Structure 1
Amino acid sequence: MTETSAFRPVLCSRPWRLWQNCPVTTASETTWLTVPDLVELLGMSPSRVRRLIEDRALLATRMDGVLKVPASFIRDGEPLSELRGTLVLMQDNHYTDDEAMRWLLNVDDSLGTAPIDALLAGRKAEVRRVAQALAF
């Protein structure tokens, strides 16, 4: 069962990260998929789905104790291929998972859209440049 809810930005412990209070993309709503949803959608086992999360091919967050992934991270029945490298870059630059999730789902002024939407539009290099610049 998918769930649609706003991913509510919270104050970040790093005050130079101004994007944490930006409006959420796509009309303030994100569709969230649970691990069982992903198992059905991707046609793989729960352990394989969890491995995708561990390997940074997907990013998940816990909501009410349940691990969830934004549906926008899936394209054509597979994890968005551009996402993994972006997540690795963000991890290397000391973004927490919550910071990475917030940034990916919120409109970024430099991009003019949410980074996930820019990735879906094929703007991978630009998204990664902005993520790299925000780390400093």
Structure 2
Amino acid sequence: MSGIPYLEDVLPEDVVVITLKEAAQRMGVPITRIEQMVRDRDLIAFKRKRVPVVPEVFVEDEGRVLKGLPATITLLRDGGYTEEEIVRWLFTDDDTLPGSPIAALHGNRGKEVTRRAQAMAM
């Protein structure tokens, strides 16, 4: 099996993160499933203080990956964005949304995030 691609931590320290084990527990799946999602690039993980983590907001309360997140990641990656750029974009405030794209995904405004990601990927 290939190694798990972890990014460098590009987010501010105040962004709450959870370990891959905690993500697996919340989702009710084995940790190997979370690791496979990272390998498949459906989920982006990074190391914070040498511990593999994902932003807590990537996992919904219902125990699944945030709706629209994998599609947004794929859309931007196919448009030439690096995973670091994708993560930064997701957490950067945009006055026209308002808020960040990740907040918009949580606020049930996924279609607007998709439109913006499509425009950026062109």
SS at match of 2:93: coil
Report the TM-score when normalising by structure 1. Answer: 0.73
Q: Give the AA of the match of 1:70.
A: P
Distance 1:43 1:119 in 2: 22
Tell me, yes or no, if the aligned pair for 1:60 and 1:69 is still in contact at 8 Å: yes
The offset of 1:99, in angstroms, is: 0.8
Task: Select 2:50's aligned residue among 45, 49, 65.
Answer: 65
Task: Select 1:49's aligned residue among 28, 34, 42.
Answer: 34
What residue ranges of structure 1 are gaps of 5+ in the alignment?
Answer: 1-5, 9-27
In structure 1, what is the equivalent of residue 112 of structure 2? 126
Matches within 5 A, 1:8-47: 8=12, 29-47=14-32
Q: Which moved more, 1:80-89 or 1:41-50?
A: 41-50
The number of residue pairs the alignment matches comes to 112
Which runs of 4 or more aligned residues in structure 1 lie more than 3 Å from their structure 2 counterparts after TM superposition? none
Tell me, yes or no, if the aligned pair for 1:58 and 1:84 is still in contact at 8 Å: yes
Tell me, yes or no, if the aligned pair for 2:16 and 2:56 is still in contact at 8 Å: yes
In structure 2, what is the equivalent of residue 20 of structure 1? none
Report the TM-score when normalising by structure 2. Answer: 0.80
What residue ranges of structure 2 are gaps of 5+ in the alignment?
Answer: 1-9
In structure 2, what is the equivalent of residue 115 of structure 1? 101
Tell me, yes or no, if the aligned pair for 1:61 and 1:98 is still in contact at 8 Å: no
Tell me, yes or no, if the aligned pair for 2:92 and 2:101 is still in contact at 8 Å: yes
Q: Which moved more, 1:53-62 or 1:42-51?
A: 53-62
SS at match of 1:79: coil
